[in-house]
Structure 1
Amino acid sequence: MRAKTRRYRQIALVVVAAAVLLGVNVPPAVAYVQEWRHERLINSPEYKAQYGHWDTVEVPPDSRVNSIHAALLNDGKVLLIAGSGNKEDMFATKALKSMIYDPATGASKMIPVPDDMFCGGQTVLPDGRLLFAGGTQRYEKLDGAVTNAAGAMRIKNENPNAPRFLPAGTEFTAPSGQKYRSDFDTTVPPALKIGTGARTKVTSSEEKVFVEAEQPGPQAVNGNRDKYAISGLDPADAKNLYGLGEPMTLDKQDYQGTNKAYTFDPKTEQWSEVPNMNQSRWYPTLTPLSDGNVLTVAGLDNVGQVINGQTEEYDPRTNTWIDRKDLNQYFPTYPALFETETPHQMVYTGATAGYGPSDKGRIPGFWNIDNNQFTPIPGLRDPELLETAGSAFIGPVQDQRMAVVGGGGVGESPISTARIDYLNLKDPAPHFTPGPNLAQPTRYPNLVNMPDDSTFITNGSLDYRGKGATNNHLAYSLDPTTNQLTPMADPNIGRDYHTEALLLPDGRVLVAGSDPLFDDEKNTIPGTFEQRIEIFTPPYLEKGTPRPTITSAPPTMPRGQNFDIPTPDGNRIAKARLVRTATATHVTTTDMRDVALPMQKTPDGVSVTVPPEPTITPPGPYMLFLVDDKGVPSMAKIVDVP
């Protein structure tokens, strides 16, 4: 090592001396020396022991994806999902991708996906499969790019005896004679019939579909909500089946969601289709519940409109979607929604990503999904700057403390905040309280629960999607006990929109993705999607202290039971933790949690108890860590809480 260091020093001195003699290229020479000194510093044992270290993973060209979603699987591998990866040409050719990366070996493998999962929602099911729902049905068209007037068509069916299937391309004729065609297949349920005889009441059913004018130009613009005739129907059907058009315009058209849903099985590494959702969704949130179901909310629907509060649940036992018509709560897209220690009491931190008006659905609160009651939570600083904020439980989930970190204004706002505010859910009158501030205002911060109970915060940008070259190259460790925010080593790669971060079983953190709007400070060069992976090694693994080891662990750890965990390091084990395998997209991670396990020493190691409450340990795979008295974690064993 010393010889190598001397060699670098000699090279640097030669370069500088030559530059001085020639009187040219001094700035590059100085930059070289500065870079060399920086690399020497960040790779020194002393620096790594205090701040940690980043390693960049160059993924082979044939395995690179535009990572939009990430999931830690129950075999320790990471699934990175792109779908079309925000590339419309990939969407058009159906070159849809996902990739498995093994952080233990560095191996990667491409896995084709059956549909465009770009900007859907995901979570891990109790049996370890990944559930993925929603995604892209149609790409947006910006102002000026729309040539054919288009809009939503509400198809009404007044026949109670049968559903009606209308294929893509079905023609709708306005009273003016203008003709429009649907983009996608639609099935309209039968009308609802109640009573008999003179007391019979029929309520028409309705489905929406997106339609475009057959001919380009402004003549097909129609601001009226007219009744449209459907071509190809016999006279009797035409009385019962018709369209009610919303305004047909040449305005910008938003992305449209799909109702498709799939699971990914880590054992077979295969995608499988499951029944469709009741509602098409793009930018939805999927939150696991303590009973094993998955609460599914929000998104853009199949005509590009923000979903007006429709909620559903996926039941993995019956493989069905339950339409929760009793729950109607409006949220902007990708709302940060978590189940609290009270069963079916959700908390909405107010953090969102992407779409929705600034004056609707932005207030944090408790949502009771038994009676649909919503109770606002006061006290948050910069409440208008919650879009692209990060939020998570901090410390052991039994403490019921949360943090809301960073964020910005709605849409392409240049305004952002450095705010970290805390929420104590156990407070008799829960309210937000100020915490420490980040070093600079930050959109898109990623939060990761660590086995030593700290929260790792990394990356983000000052402006929307890193505009103006504002990626911050910063990382922090937040101690929930002392409320101290400690700078960590700077990431090598700046990351903003479409970035994900996950804790790995070896105690490191994997970070992937980033989709800047521009690649230069003047915002003139279109952005390039970041396909490299970075892995952060925390200081607790750089102190030279031997890691504790887990000799063995049971594959299944039911709630309320005690388990002996043999380890040769029992005398220095300070705590045991279960950290749930998590998923992430768009700064939204609703299935991550750090569970403290009551622990006692035994002659062969330690004995731990899994908390009995399902709301503390929702069913699914977890990483079991033993942490020593210096804060150094073992390699995790992945176990199931059934």
Structure 2
Amino acid sequence: MGSPSLCLSTCLLLLLLASIHSFTHANLPGTWELLVSNAGIASMHTAVTRFNTVILLDRTNIGPSRKILPHGHCRHDDNDRALKNDCYAHSVEFDISTNKIRPLTILTDTWCSSGQFLPDGTLLQTGGDLDGLKKIRKFVPCQSGKLCDWEELADVELATGRWYASNQILPDGSVIIVGGRASYSVEFYPTKGPAAALVQLPFLADVEDNQMDNLYPYVHLLPNGHLFIFANNKAILYDHASNAVLREYPPLDGGPRNYPSAGSSVMLALEGDYSTAVIVICGGAEYGAFLQKSIDTPAHGSCGRIVATDPESSWVIEDMPLGRIMGDMVMLPTGEVLIINGAQSGTQGFEMASNPCLYPLLYRPNEPVGLRFMTLTPGTIPRMYHATANLLPDGRILLAGSNPHYFYNFVRPFPTELRIEAFSPEYLSADRANLRPVIEISPATVRYGTAFDIVVSVPLSVVGIIEVNLGSAPFATHSFSQGQRLVKLKVTSAIPEPDGAEKYRIGCMAPPDPKIAPPGYYMAYAVNQGVPSVAQWIQLVS
């Protein structure tokens, strides 16, 4: 047994280290809050609607969830692997204003499916596994208190099975569906004539390796109307109208980045003359971790950044403070990027990762290389495989899901996660509240290339240039937010309103065409000195 003096010294040292650790956390930016202790399901797919509700979606063939469907809404399927007569919800609606959960009915398997909002605000949901492989579903959002639900289309289906595919809305309002397991092709919804139902894209086969690494390809619509498509460690510039590959980009060093190697990607904010698009891809697993089922192989922390619209561009490499797989990259209203969720070891897949990454990172794209990353306040809930992150209209980030198990399993160390929480970036801190604008007046609909005004109020009377930024509502799944984009509008200086009351009128110019921002509903934020308002929904139309 050690001496009393040695024990006392050890205890004092541990207390000192604990106080340093606590002090460090207390001084990191950002705060966390638990919104719902039991959502009933673990969300594999998440999307925010224009009615300020959130659609959470898991998969069928998983057995009982923790939310019962309304009477008479049971699903009977003799081929279900877990529960032939299933009276449990596998999708729910979350009301942001009340934190209430409403069960929704989904009939076919949405495991590792894809999605995108249509111009009218309908959520399109495509593919999955088993009976969902070629399925097309729609959810028409409704105001709180009404009982909208999923519709599974019976008169149309995908041209081929789509499991682990990616969706992107196009300038004409249609949706392109790219790739999937053993699907080296693209197709469109709605279909563009029988001859265009299925279009082969050999690039997706060329980049496949023996652990796949071409699933959930990163698809970004560039302001020139072409698509940047990235899979494994390579990318192409793709003309979807003519099915032509216009450019092959240099490979990105650092190993594979897509599923199952679990990096993430964003296109930075479009601004100025909208001619420049910058793509950032961060994190990923070491090649072979998936094949070897190695949960302890450290993730890498490298990021690649490329100007996708520059014909001579190449990747610029920078390093995150932490290695990370399964991180979600979320565009903030300010144009900065939040990197959140994930693990520091292993790969995607059931029981395939360890060492949860609890520290979010803020990526500041306008800072020099080496100064772009800021470490934020850590969370306490591991968000690993099958977790999501979505920007909310009030500027918080919604975190849901995490189920590293084939079925629901509430045994530690990484149990199925039913809690919903929110992370508030530093711009929502109390000491910046006097900078936060409020949008008092804004149009519901805006046409491309037209001028419009919004009226804001700001607690402080000293007001300079207030940004007005449009953020899309993407479909978040498997560490990639499909359809995510932020567009910074051209604005005039804030002009005081004649009636005073700290109100200011800002002249805005809508994006010139749908290549910059495809038609649909956007969250419009007024941003004053880096502090965003609560967003108002605006629909962009031709």
TM-score, scaled to structure 1: 0.67
SS in 2 for 1:540: helix
**Structure 2 CA distance, aligned partners of 1:610 and 1:431?**
31
1:568 aligned residue: 457
Decide whether aligned partners of structure 1 residues 560 and 457 sit closer, same or farther in structure 2, where only a CA change above 3 A counts. same
User: Structure 2 stretches of 5 or more lacking a match?
Assistant: 64-79, 206-213, 498-504
1:454 aligned residue: 336
Decide whether aligned partners of structure 1 residues 36 and 82 sit closer, same or farther in structure 2, where only a CA change above 3 A counts. farther
Supply the RMSD in Å over aligned alpha carbons.
Answer: 3.2
TM-score, scaled to structure 2: 0.79
**Structure 1 CA distance, aligned partners of 2:326 and 2:84?**
29
Deviations 1:372-414 (A, max 9, x none): 3333211522134543110011233634111000011363453
User: Where do residues 357-372 of structure 1 align in structure 2 (5 Å cutoff)?
Assistant: 362-372=233-243
SS in 1 for 2:102: strand
The answer to whether the aligner puts 1:285 opposite 2:170 as a matched pair is no
* Letter aligned with residue 267 of structure 2: F
Deviation at 1:78, TM superposition (A): 1.0
**Structure 1 CA distance, aligned partners of 2:125 and 2:438?**
34
Deviation at 1:527, TM superposition (A): 5.0
Indicate which of 69, 76, 97 corresponds to 2:52.
Answer: 76
SS in 1 for 2:427: helix
**Structure 1 CA distance, aligned partners of 2:387 and 2:126?**
19
What's the % identity of the aligned pairs?
24
Q: Which has the larger radius of gyration?
A: 1
2:443 aligned residue: 554
1:490 aligned residue: 378
Indicate which of 46, 64, 69 corresponds to 2:40.
Answer: 64
Deviation at 1:468, TM superposition (A): 6.4
Higher helix fraction: Structure 1 or Structure 2? Answer: 1
**Structure 2 CA distance, aligned partners of 1:468 and 1:563?**
49
**Structure 2 CA distance, aligned partners of 1:93 and 1:321?**
40
Deviation at 1:117, TM superposition (A): 1.5
1:481 aligned residue: 366
8 Å Cα contact 1:379-1:433 kept in structure 2: no
Deviation at 1:32, TM superposition (A): 9.7
2:204 aligned residue: 330
* Letter aligned with residue 311 of structure 2: P
8 Å Cα contact 1:65-1:97 kept in structure 2: yes
Decide whether aligned partners of structure 1 residues 376 and 108 sit closer, same or farther in structure 2, where only a CA change above 3 A counts. same
2:470 aligned residue: 578
**Structure 2 CA distance, aligned partners of 1:103 and 1:452?**
21
* Letter aligned with residue 591 of structure 1: G
SS in 2 for 1:489: coil
User: Where do residues 428-443 of structure 1 align in structure 2 (5 Å cutoff)?
Assistant: 428-435=311-318, 437-443=319-325
SS in 2 for 1:70: strand
User: Where do residues 138-149 of structure 1 align in structure 2 (5 Å cutoff)?
Assistant: none
**Structure 2 CA distance, aligned partners of 1:608 and 1:396?**
15
SS in 2 for 1:282: coil
User: Where do residues 401-440 of structure 1 align in structure 2 (5 Å cutoff)?
Assistant: 401-408=278-285, 409=287, 411=290, 412=293, 414=297, 416-435=299-318, 437-440=319-322
Deviations 1:106-138 (A, max 9, x none): 121111212222221111111101000111217
Deviation at 1:342, TM superposition (A): 1.7
SS in 1 for 2:110: coil
Decide whether aligned partners of structure 1 residues 269 and 382 sit closer, same or farther in structure 2, where only a CA change above 3 A counts. same
More off after superposition, 565-574 vs 102-111: 565-574
**Structure 2 CA distance, aligned partners of 1:78 and 1:90?**
27
* Letter aligned with residue 446 of structure 2: M
1:609 aligned residue: 509
The aligned length equals 471
User: Where do residues 5-16 of structure 1 align in structure 2 (5 Å cutoff)?
Assistant: none
**Structure 2 CA distance, aligned partners of 1:319 and 1:584?**
29
**Structure 1 CA distance, aligned partners of 2:491 and 2:415?**
48
Indicate which of 205, 223, 236 corresponds to 1:341.
Answer: 223
Indicate which of 242, 254, 269 corresponds to 1:382.
Answer: 254
Indicate which of 250, 267, 270 corresponds to 1:396.
Answer: 270
The answer to whether the aligner puts 1:136 opposite 2:129 as a matched pair is yes
User: Structure 1 stretches of 5 or more lacking a match?
Assistant: 1-19, 139-256, 301-305, 352-361, 519-523
Deviation at 1:315, TM superposition (A): 2.1
1:245 aligned residue: none
* Letter aligned with residue 185 of structure 2: Q
* Letter aligned with residue 611 of structure 1: P
8 Å Cα contact 2:282-2:302 kept in structure 1: yes
* Letter aligned with residue 419 of structure 2: R
* Letter aligned with residue 621 of structure 1: Y
**Structure 2 CA distance, aligned partners of 1:278 and 1:534?**
38
**Structure 1 CA distance, aligned partners of 2:195 and 2:472?**
24
SS in 2 for 1:545: helix
SS in 1 for 2:532: coil
8 Å Cα contact 2:61-2:81 kept in structure 1: no
8 Å Cα contact 2:29-2:425 kept in structure 1: yes
